[in-house]
Every structure is written in structure tokens, then in C-alpha cells.
Copies of this chain bind each other. A is one copy, B any other.
Amino acid sequence: MDFFRVYTVDEALAVLRKHIAWDFGVTYVTLREALGRDVGEEITAPEDVPGFDRSTMDGFAVRAQDTFGASEGLPAYLTVTGEVLMGQKPGGSVGVAEAYHIPTGGMLPDGADAVVMVEYTEQLDEHNIGVIRPVAPGENIIRRGDDLKAGSLLFPAGHRLRPQDLGLLAAAGISKVPVRKRVRVGIITTGNEVIPVDQTPGPGQVRDVNSYTSYAQVLENGGVPEEYGIIPDDFHAVADVVQGALEECDMVVISGGSSVGTRDVTARVVDSLGDPGVLFHGLAVRPGKPTIGAVIGGKPVIGLPGHPVSAMVVFNLIVRPLLNPHYRSIPVQARILRSLRSQPGKEDYVRVSLAYKDGELTAEPILGKSGLIATMAGADGLVRIPLDKEGVEAGDIVEVLLF
């Protein structure tokens, strides 16, 4: 490790991933429990869905060719020879110039290849209808296997399941879903100056903020947070707790105080516990520079910056991609209302609040030191100013990462 070089986000993620060795195996959960879980192994459709040709409309199952040329002036006359009942196989088949009553979702009788909507028919007498619009073969029906073909890929391993994915699994008849174990994340707070939330800070003391934001961010990204409390800046005390967390968890986030002492102890402890140890110490991101990245025995250990805003930004940039690798943050475009300067060689993340003005989305930068959590709670997202840019001008269209 080059202790004096700061890493870009991409470099940091690459070096962490190179050393992380996770194997979560596969476990089965019920369909409802599968929401937000990562698929454990490729899932394919066990059968055709639907398993039969089905009507998508209320109307009449017909042979399409019998309706060709039909119009209001010259209807096609058909004899209704049967009725399809929901949940039942049709009793017969549709012959030339014949039709079956069919409800939405009903199984298409043999012989029929289309459905005429009831709106485009007129009842002539008890047994006969006139069709006033032609239908093409396949119209208003879903064919067997149109939704899913037996054996087709539903989800690759690693896919995180959303509500619509549960719907697809339900349609395919998969009631037990193979998923990966959730990532268990140990959250450790260090710092002599950090006190529990329900105490009143004395001089030089601050309340523990970062363990709450980290806890919530782990949950939001599908991990299981495990709390290890507030540990004083003592090498052996911190080492014991980090060691214990590494045994019980897949990942450790040290959500420290912001003092030099805290940062030093964290880096020394992490480097002492195993190989490869600390991989980088410093991220080319503002806010977020004092970030420590390490891997010990295949498990990542991330030392977040002490300032709450920096800690949340770094969590989003470094911890989230590890926890939730398929997370896609699609930026929204907005017009920035103030010019922002940036140092080249650092990615800047500027908090902004979004509002619609004259029908256009605008981003108002929230200026304030990264120690001020109030600036984060007021923000809707972050504008990223890339490494090689010196800033943005008021009126520019910028990309906002929502959070």
C-alpha cells in the first residue's frame, strides 16, 4: 500500500473486491420473505405460463377467418354453440361459423384462434350473433407460453428481488425461492468524545450519530446491521471488538469519531488483525477523504470519516456497492442554481435540495460544513463534480444522485 496516495472511488472498490472472499451459499425462503433478497442461483421457469391459450377479453371465441370483411353494414353471422366457464376446460370445439361465449381469462376452445370483444357483436337471437369488426388470428388471446416458456431464464444469481419479480415467481409457481444469506454488517463506533444519544454532551463531547445513519443505510441496502457499541480510543479495546465483529459478521464498518487519535487507532488496529490489512487510507472524494479501506481474511473493514455527512457519502460510494452490487443509481437531471468550484483531482459531492420551478427540476446547493448533519437531512441528493472538472456554472444541467 502506498500510504501517501489517495484512491479514487473506482480504485478503492476494485482493490477491495480483489480481496473480498464471500460465500453465502443458498438458502430457501417463502415467496413473501424473498422481497429484497438476492437470488442465490439461476432460476428458470419450470413450465409454460400460461399453460393454455387464454382470452384477454370478455366476448366470443371464434375462427378469425369467419370474421374477415365483417362491418356494421355487413356483419359476420355466427352461431353460439357453447360457453367457456372460468376454471373449466371448454366442453367442445368451435367449428366453421360458430362461436363460444368466453370470459376474460377463459381457456380458448379448440378450433378458435381469436376472441371478438363483446362490444363488437350484436345479439341477433338466442343462438346467433353478428360480428361487426373483423379480428386477426391471435387477437385478444394470450398463447400458451407467451408469458414464460418452460426452461427460460427468470433471474440470474445475484439479482435483487423487487415486487414485480415476486409476481413473476408467483406466476411461474415458484413458492420457495433460493436466495443468498444476507450480508451481516458489524457497526462499531470509536472515539473518546462520542457519547450515547440519550446523554447530554459535556465539553468536547458529541453524540453518536454515525452508528444510527450506518445502521439505517445497512438496512436500506438489504444487509443485517449488528451493533457493537461505542469503544474508547484504546488499541486493545478496539482490537478486541473488531476481532469479535469479524468473527460474527461478513463486513465491519467502523463509524468513528473524527479525532486524529480515533483515526490512528482504527488504522493500526485494522492493519494488525490479518492480511492483507489496510489497502488504502484516503479517498479522492470531498467530503470523505479520511476513509480507511481494508480486507481481513476475505472480509472488508471500512473506516468511515468521523463527520456524519462525510460518513454517509462514503457509505453510499464504498459500502453500498459491496452490500448491494446491482444497485443502480440512475441520476436525475436538474438545473443547478449556483456555481460551484471544485479542486481538480478530487470528486466533489455537493448536497442539493430539489424543487420544480416553472416546470423544470432545479437543484439548490446546500452549503455548510460536513460536520453539520442538518445539511444532510435537508438534502434530496448529491451533485457529483468529477475528478477532472473545476466546477459547474449556475444554469448548467447537472446529474443528481438521489438518496
Which residues of A are in contact with B by a Cβ distance under 8 Å?
31-32, 35, 47, 50-52, 54, 56, 58, 84-90, 103-107, 142, 146-148, 154, 162-171, 173-175, 191-193, 197-210, 212-213, 215-217, 219-220, 233, 257-261, 306, 308, 312, 330-333, 354, 361, 369, 371-374, 376-377, 379-380, 402-403
Instruction: Kindly identify which residue among B51, B56, B330, B379 contacts A354, using a CB–CB cutoff of 8 Å.
Output: B330
- Check A259/B374 contact, CB under 8 A, given A162-B216, A173-B207, A361-B330: no
Instruction: Kindly identify which residue among B31, B199, B332 contacts A212, using a CB–CB cutoff of 8 Å.
Output: B31
Known: A51-B200, A89-B202, A167-B377. 14 other contacts (CB 8 A): A32-B212, A47-B200, A52-B204, A146-B372, A165-B377, A167-B210, A168-B377, A170-B197, A170-B207, A330-B332, A330-B361, A330-B402, A331-B332, A332-B332
Interface of A: prevailing SS: loop
| A-B contacts, 9 listed (Cβ < 8 Å) | A56-B371, A58-B260, A146-B369, A162-B216, A164-B312, A167-B213, A170-B208, A170-B209, A171-B207
Query: Does the CB pair A333–B330 fall under 8 Å?
Result: no
Query: Does the CB pair B403–A164 fall under 8 Å?
Result: yes
Instruction: Kindly identify which residue among B58, B204, B333 contacts A106, using a CB–CB cutoff of 8 Å.
Output: B204
Task: Look across to chain B and name the residue whose beta carbon is closest to the beta carbon of A140.
Answer: B369
Number of copies: 2
Complex Cα distance A170/B106, Å?
Answer: 57
Question: Lowest 4 A-B CB distances belong to which pairs?
Answer: A163-B216, A89-B203, A107-B204, A167-B213
Question: Given the complex, which residues of B lie within 8 Å of A376, measured CB to CB?
Answer: 164, 167-168
Query: Does the CB pair B204–A171 fall under 8 Å?
Result: no
